[in-house]
Amino acid sequence: MDATSQISIDETSIRYDGWRIVVVCFLVATFGWGFGFYGQSVYLAELHRARAWPASLISGATTFFYLFGAVIVAFVAEAVRAFGPRNCLLAGIMAMAVAVIAIGQVTSLWQLYAANALLAFGWAGTSLAIITNTLSLWFDKRRGMAISLALNGASFGGIAGVPLLVLLIGAFGFSRAMMVSALVMLAVLVPIVFGLIGQPPLAGTATMNAVRDAPSSAQIRARALRDIGFLSIAIAFALVLFAQVGFIVHLISFLDPVIGRESAAVAVAVLTAMAMAGRILFSTVIDRLNQRLASALSFLSQAVALAIVINSRSEILLIAACALFGFSVGNLITLPSLIVQREFDPRAFGVLISLSTAINQVTYAFGPGVIGLLRDLSGSYTLPFYGCIALEVIAAGLIMLRGGGAPLRADGSVQSAARP
């Protein structure tokens, strides 16, 4: 071991360069989720109004976006390994900008699907997998806090990004608004990513070298898909995100006839704000928690909130239930990476997170559609929301299964002791 590898890095210091990377990832997440996740509802409404295309075909393009994006996300770790985090982030930003402009210009459905295919590349380069892979090169002991703080940009993208996009559409029209938005993203993100995302510190470089020396990602994936400890993480969070995304997409439709559109909008705003609050509060202690138990309790808290939503007609109780549900929303995209970091070989981190993210995305892509179908078949949201409760409870039990013992090694074997 050479002298440089022994130099310690104080991740708790405010002067540590890694915290600037957190700010960069926050901004990337703001635009990534603003255009890639929350923006989909805006695109659907505007294209339905302007082109008179059936909502089912437009939303089908959204499902295609998630499914195609899941395939790409699975290979983010290899891309970071081959090209470095800066180049991957810049490629994702450029792809998203071109896709956003293209969505504003589409005149036929095939063009919308093509634009969503390009948007999927942008999503892979600006969302969870790339952010966790990037921050893992700067953080180890404080990785949980770093990821939690950076992913607040996801919530901010919904709170600020969507209303601003709607305002721009009102002022300039859909096509010009999309072009202006894309240009703003490029103007903000490209110089910041280019200027601040450099070589990882010594600890990160050592980690990256270890990953380069590790066997193939295909071996890691094959072993992971036979490992109960990994599958319990991937499947549990896939079930919960299926319920969570489906519930949130249908929330206004459920609340509107009960408490009115304005109060329903307040409930959604409270849910989103609590997602940020929960993530910030958890970030201070999340690295010291039993993260599987914290996940199980989060799942059960959402089940309780759903039970209140189904059985209450009180505006105060419904908004309070949305707050309870929202408190864990943000942490459910942070916790998988922290469990993987703690329990598995660090050389496999990037591949496992990318694989878990892809599994989650494939699953939750169907959440809104399945809940909508069950609602139409049953005549109310009672059946699908009780189904969501069942998924949350099943996931709470599943996440506590750690498997037979030793964690996965990057070479496809197992090591005898868990990573501390």
pLDDT tens for 136-183 read: 888 877 777 888 889 888 888 877 887 888 889 889 999 999 999 999
Please tell me the total count of domains within the chain.
2
Same domain, 200 and 237: no
CATH number at residue 392: 1.20.1250.20
Please check the confidence at residue 190 and state whether its pLDDT lies above 60. yes
- At 1 the pLDDT is 39
Q: Work out the pLDDT band at 410, boundaries 50, 70, 90.
A: very low
Higher pLDDT: 416 or 373? It is 373
Closest CA to 339 of 253, 227, 242: 227
Evaluate if residue 52 carries a pLDDT over 50. Answer: yes
Which of the residue ranges 91-100, 329-338, 352-361 would you say has the lowest mean pLDDT? Answer: 329-338
Q: Residue-wise over 17-54: b if at least 16 C-beta within 10 A, else e?
A: ebbebbebbbbbbbbbbbbbbbbbebbbebbeeebebe
- CA pair distance 405, 242, nearest whole angstrom: 28
Region 13-40: mean pLDDT is 88
Is residue 190 domain-resident?
yes
Task: Choose between 336 and 9: higher pLDDT.
Answer: 336
In a domain, 254, yes or no: yes
Tens of pLDDT along 55-71?
A: 778 878 888 898 999 88
Question: What is the residue range of 104's domain?
Answer: 17-213
pLDDT tens digits for range 72-97:
988 888 899 889 999 999 999 999 99
Residue 5 counted as domain residue = no
More confident site: 7 or 82: 82
Instruction: Read off the tokens for 80.
Output: 């970071």
Is residue 192 domain-resident?
yes
**Domain-located, residue 188:** yes
For residues 28-52, average pLDDT? 86
HSE-CB at 319 with a 13 A cutoff on CA atoms is 15
Is residue 126 predicted with pLDDT exceeding 80? yes
Residue 411 covered by a domain: no
Query: In Å, how far from its chain's centre is CA 362?
Result: 12
Give residues with Cβ within 8 angstroms of 224, minimum separation 6.
Answer: 230, 231, 348, 351, 352, 355, 408
End of a domain among 194, 213, 232? Answer: 213
What value does the mean pLDDT take over residues 12-30?
88
Is residue 185 domain-shared with residue 235, that is, in the same domain? no
Q: How far apart are CA 309 and CA 127, in angstroms?
A: 30
pLDDT on residue 70 = 87
Rg (the chain; Cα; Å): 21
Same domain, 209 and 71: yes
* 143-150 helix and 18-33 helix, angle to the nearest 10 degrees: 40
Identify whether residues 207 and 244 lie together within a single domain. Answer: no
288-329 residue pLDDT tens: 788 899 999 999 999 999 999 999 888 899 999 999 999 988
Same domain, 167 and 256: no
- The answer to whether the predicted template modeling score (pTM) of the entire model surpasses 0.75 is yes
CA 115 to chain centre: 21
Decide which of 185, 213, 241 is a domain's last residue: 213
DSSP of 140-171: STTHHHHHHHHTHHHHHIIIIIHHHHHHHHHH
110 token code pair: 């095939």
pLDDT value of residue 10 = 67
Please check whether residue 138 is in contact with residue 18, taking contact to mean a CB–CB distance below 8 angstroms. Answer: yes
82 and 41 both lie in a single domain: yes
Output the pLDDT for position 214.
55
**Highest averaged pLDDT of the listed ranges 159-168, 263-272, 374-383, 401-410:** 374-383
Which range is least confidently modeled, 85-89, 268-272, 348-352, 413-417?
413-417
Q: Is residue 1 a part of any domain in this protein?
A: no
Say yes or no: 167 and 246 in one domain: no
On whether both 75 and 156 belong to a single domain, the answer is yes
User: Average model confidence (pLDDT) for the chain?
Assistant: 84
Q: How many helices (H) and strands (E) does the chain have?
A: 21, 0
Residue 4, in any domain of the structure: no
Closest CA to 33 of 101, 79, 92: 92
Residue 334 is predicted with a pLDDT of: 81
pLDDT at 411 over 70: no
Residues 235 and 154 in one domain: no
Q: Which residue has the higher pLDDT, 24 or 354?
A: 24
Same domain, 132 and 41: yes
Do 359 and 312 fall into the same domain? yes
Structural domain ending residue among the three candidates 195, 213, 231: 213
The answer on 234 and 189 residing in a single domain is: no
Three-point CA angle 55, 59, 61, nearest 5°: 125
